[in-house]
């Protein structure tokens, strides 16, 4: 057997704080990346995946960093931990390249994308400016960007998220590296764009003979893409093996938990499995299926007819351009039921949600809530309805005021709408809401930055619940969460719906999640409704070509939905 391209042995590192405390982030990490193969590094946020990749690239901050003397990272027999200065710079970009998770924060906003790719070529391949410019066009063509000459002159903000990620890939493969590190390259992308990006990386890996280290929290992606899998948790490797071994006969309980957390397409359990379920004596037994769908006698709480929303932008000196974000959208939402709205970015999903809460003003149409048209109300009249229709935004980092404590975040809406007789009563209500969303009462004194992404989303849900809404709009509210945290939030939303009979508009590009939580599904494309039916019917027998395209893009994993027997009887300890 040939020597691996990259070998990590006994990698342990820790960071120190100003108070003198040390936190061990990696604990005796050992694995290999063979030549011409794809290795997936899988685990939840905080498991140590990205720190491992940063250690390989020697991009970790040196302040407070302590690496165990026994640690080794060798690339083609050379120690990366001993490299410094010029030698390290020559290796990065040329022999080892990296695609970062968030392309918008990785690309320089003041340079065109062509200039940024050309800089890599001039630095590492020693090409002249004209030669580099020609090679940039070839690279953008290779990664599938339309009109590459025009895109090379574009700035990052002028490209979509998927196009930005393709630019990052073009930059990474510019010098034909031997190892490509892809750190969560498809997080929060549409399923169709996600599939395209993964296929692109796979094709480039075969074409250039690269090795790939693919970092993700979603095992569903791994099963279709990787050759080998390394599962991490709390800075340790819990299990490693080929993709066949991990999916067909996982040995570690944590691996089994990650496989079970993802919503399934062939069934809909009343509750999704979470990591804690695997701590219970007797192992995890999957609950019964939940029946979904609208019934003839369901009470309709919201009926939308012909909703339209257009935006105008200037074009030239005197011209204007009209963009129709939503066109003739109609649907009904029943009490205590969930309508899932799916589609790619730009399909109009979020526009519909924002228009219903009047953060956008409808261009046309009507929205009858308990018989009254929301769009025809005066601002003062609609103010009474704000508390009855609430929205959970996609990004809890941006939607929570960083200067407010959780107590202020939860009590401010109560004060505005006259809920609670006094401050002490409102604080008591806030504590009760934190309990509802499974957060401790002492979280009231903390600020948003002190919580994880999943916890912040729970705070955002609690804030909506202060209004006791009848309709809750969930706008991509679980799209960027780990699969285990995503399962917790989905279970929470289902529990709240069962208890308070709330109706949900669940907006998402993740069709597996929508299938799990929705009674009815509405598919949108380019602002129009292309199909609408009960959730099971639309997945079993889609009538629109666009719906079939979306369904074919869902990552299935390797035999994940067929092989679940190990969940039934295994006695596990995490």
> How far apart, in whole angstroms, are the C-alpha atoms of residue 275 and residue 297?
38
Fold classification of 300-544 (topology level): Rossmann fold (3.40.50)
pLDDT at 556: 67
* Range 454-470 average pLDDT: 88
Quote the crossing angle between the two packed helices 423-436 and 406-416, to the nearest 10°. Answer: 120
* Range 275-299 average pLDDT: 84
Task: List Cβ neighbours of 531 (8 Å cut-off, separation of 6 or more).
Answer: 522, 523, 538, 542, 543, 544, 546, 547
Strand bridging mode 338-342 / 503-508: parallel
Looking at every residue in the chain, the average pLDDT score rounds to 88
pLDDT at 222: 85
- Indicate the pLDDT class of residue 569, thresholds 50, 70 and 90: very low
Task: List Cβ neighbours of 466 (8 Å cut-off, separation of 6 or more).
Answer: 410, 411, 413, 414, 419, 429, 430, 433
The tokens of 473 are what? 């709009």
pTM of the model: 0.82
Q: What are the tens digits of pLDDT across the range 109-146?
A: 999 999 999 999 998 888 999 999 999 999 999 888 88
Are the C-beta atoms of residues 474 and 357 closer than 8 Å to each other? Answer: no
> How far apart, in whole angstroms, are the C-alpha atoms of residue 477 and residue 454?
10
> How far apart, in whole angstroms, are the C-alpha atoms of residue 26 and residue 176?
30
Residue 117 main-chain phi, psi, to 5 deg: -70, -40
The tokens of 282 are what? 């007797």
> Does residue 560 have a pLDDT over 70?
no
> Does residue 300 have a pLDDT over 90?
yes
* Range 504-511 average pLDDT: 90
* 529, containing H or E segment: strand 528-534
Per-position DSSP letters for 293-348, written without gaps between them? ---TTPPEEEEEEEEEEEEEEEETTTEEEEEEEEEEEEEEEETT-EEEEE--TTSS
Helix/strand/coil for 423? helix
pLDDT at 370: 87
Helix, strand, coil share (%) of the chain residues, nearest 5? 40, 25, 35
Q: What are the tens digits of pLDDT across the range 308-353?
A: 999 987 777 777 888 899 999 999 999 999 999 999 888 899 999 9
In angstroms, the first-to-last Cα distance of the chain is 34
Q: What is the DSSP letter of 14?
A: E
Helix/strand/coil for 367? strand
Q: What are the tens digits of pLDDT across the range 348-395?
A: 999 999 999 999 999 999 999 988 999 999 998 998 888 899 999 877
pLDDT at 119: 93
The tokens of 52 are what? 């491992």
């Amino acid at each position: 057997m040939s020597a691996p391209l990259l070998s990590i042995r006994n990698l342990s590192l820790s960071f120190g704080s100003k108070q003198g405390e040390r936190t061990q982030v990696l604990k005796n990490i050992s694995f290999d990346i063979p030549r011409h193969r794809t290795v997936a590094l899988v685990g939840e946020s905080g498991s140590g995946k990205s720190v491992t990749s940063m250690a390989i690239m020697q991009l970790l901050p040196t302040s407070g960093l302590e690496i165990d003397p026994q640690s080794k990272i060798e690339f083609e027999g050379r120690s990366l931990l001993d490299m410094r200065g010029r030698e390290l710079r020559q290796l990065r970009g040329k022999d080892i390249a990296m695609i970062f998770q968030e392309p918008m924060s990785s690309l320089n906003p003041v340079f065109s994308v062509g200039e940024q790719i050309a800089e890599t070529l001039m630095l590492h391949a020693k090409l002249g400016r004209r030669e580099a410019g020609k090679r940039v066009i070839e690279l953008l063509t290779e990664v599938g960007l339309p009109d590459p000459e025009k895109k090379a002159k574009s700035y990052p903000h002028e490209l979509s998220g998927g196009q930005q990620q393709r630019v990052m890939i073009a930059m990474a493969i510019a010098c034909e590296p031997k190892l490509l590190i892809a750190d969560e390259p498809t997080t929060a992308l549409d399923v169709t764009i996600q599939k395209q990006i993964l296929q692109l990386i796979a094709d480039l890996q075969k074409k250039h003979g690269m090795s790939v280290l693919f970092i993700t929290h979603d095992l569903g992606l791994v099963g279709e893409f990787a050759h080998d899998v390394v599962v991490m948790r709390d800075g340790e490797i819990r299990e490693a093996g080929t993709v066949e071994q991990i999916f067909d006969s996982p040995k570690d309980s944590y691996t089994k938990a990650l496989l079970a957390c993802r919503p399934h397409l062939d069934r809909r359990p009343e509750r999704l499995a979470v990591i804690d379920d695997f701590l219970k004596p007797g192992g995890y037994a999957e609950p019964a299926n939940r029946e979904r769908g609208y019934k003839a006698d369901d009470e309709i709480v919201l009926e939308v007819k012909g909703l339209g929303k257009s935006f105008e932008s200037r074009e030239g000196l005197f011209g204007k351009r009209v963009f129709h974000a939503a066109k003739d959208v109609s649907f009904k939402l029943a009490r205590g039921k969930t309508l899932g709205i799916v589609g790619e970015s730009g399909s109009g999903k979020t526009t519909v949600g924002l228009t219903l809460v009047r953060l956008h003003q409808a261009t046309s149409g009507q929205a009858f809530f308990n018989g009254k048209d929301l769009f025809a109300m005066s601002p003062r009249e609609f103010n009474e309805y704000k508390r009855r229709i609430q929205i959970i935004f996609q990004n809890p980092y941006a939607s929570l005021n960083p200067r407010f404590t959780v107590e202020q975040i939860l009590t401010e809406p109560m004060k505005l709408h006259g809920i609670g007789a006094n401050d002490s009563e409102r604080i008591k209500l806030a504590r009760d809401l934190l309990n509802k969303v499974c957060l401790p009462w002492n979280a009231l004194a903390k600020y948003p930055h002190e919580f994880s992404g999943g916890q912040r989303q729970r705070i955002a849900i609690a804030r909506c619940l202060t209004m006791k809404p009848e309709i809750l709009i969930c706008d991509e509210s679980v799209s960027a969460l780990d699969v285990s945290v995503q399962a917790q939030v989905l279970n929470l939303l289902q529990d709240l719906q069962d208890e308070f009979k709330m109706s949900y508009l669940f907006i998402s590009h993740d069709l597996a999640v929508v299938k799990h939580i929705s009674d009815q599904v509405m598919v949108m494309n380019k602002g129009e409704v292309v199909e609408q039916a009960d959730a099971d019917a639309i997945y079993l027998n889609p009538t629109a070509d666009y719906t079939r395209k979306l369904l074919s893009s869902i990552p299935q994993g390797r035999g994940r939905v067929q092989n679940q027997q190990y969940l039934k009887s295994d006695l596990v300890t995490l």
